[in-house]
């Protein structure tokens, strides 16, 4: 006899992240529109996972900075990376008790130092 475990994720498990998304967009309606998706994320400072917000902005670092400031995420917490001619800034925190990751992607010029 084979036993399987049902690993179906229920939509209701995303309610807190969806509520935080609604609060975020309602609180900051005049910020540039990012790409947002709900993702499983580690709760900061724990080994637990929950649904969180992945917020991405492309080609405009000023838009990343506007969002970072609005979310109250420290400039000193921003990490950077690059691969090929694509670079990114990333900072993580929480909003309305939900984990959030803010990403800003941009292209490096042909003469940019790496």
18 in any annotated domain: no
pLDDT given for residue 46 in this prediction: 85
Residue 113 is predicted with a pLDDT of 47
pLDDT tens across 51-86, in order?
Answer: 999 999 999 999 999 999 999 999 999 999 999 999
- Please state the domain count of the chain: 1
What's the pLDDT at 18?
A: 95
The predicted-structure confidence for 90-104, as pLDDT tens digits, reads as follows 999 999 999 999 999
Long-range contacts for 61-69 (Cβ within 8 Å, ≥24 apart)? 61/89, 61/104, 61/106, 63/31, 63/32, 63/34, 63/104, 64/89, 64/102, 64/103, 64/104, 65/104, 66/31, 66/32, 67/28, 67/31, 67/32, 67/34, 67/102, 68/102
20 in any annotated domain: no
The separation between CA 88 and the C-alpha centre of its own chain, rounded to angstroms, equals: 12
Q: Give the domain range for residue 92.
A: 33-107
């Amino acid at each position: 006899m084979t036993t399987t475990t049902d690993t179906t994720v229920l939509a209701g498990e995303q309610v807190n992240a969806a509520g935080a998304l609604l609060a975020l967009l309602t609180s900051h309606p005049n910020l540039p529109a990012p790409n947002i998706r709900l993702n499983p994320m580690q709760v900061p400072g724990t080994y637990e996972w929950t649904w969180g917000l992945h917020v991405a902005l492309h080609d405009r670092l000023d838009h990343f900075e506007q969002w970072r400031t609005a979310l109250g995420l420290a400039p000193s917490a921003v990490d950077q990376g690059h691969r090929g001619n694509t670079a990114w800034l990333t900072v993580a925190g929480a909003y309305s008790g939900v984990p959030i990751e803010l990403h800003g992607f941009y292209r490096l010029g042909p003469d940019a130092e790496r």
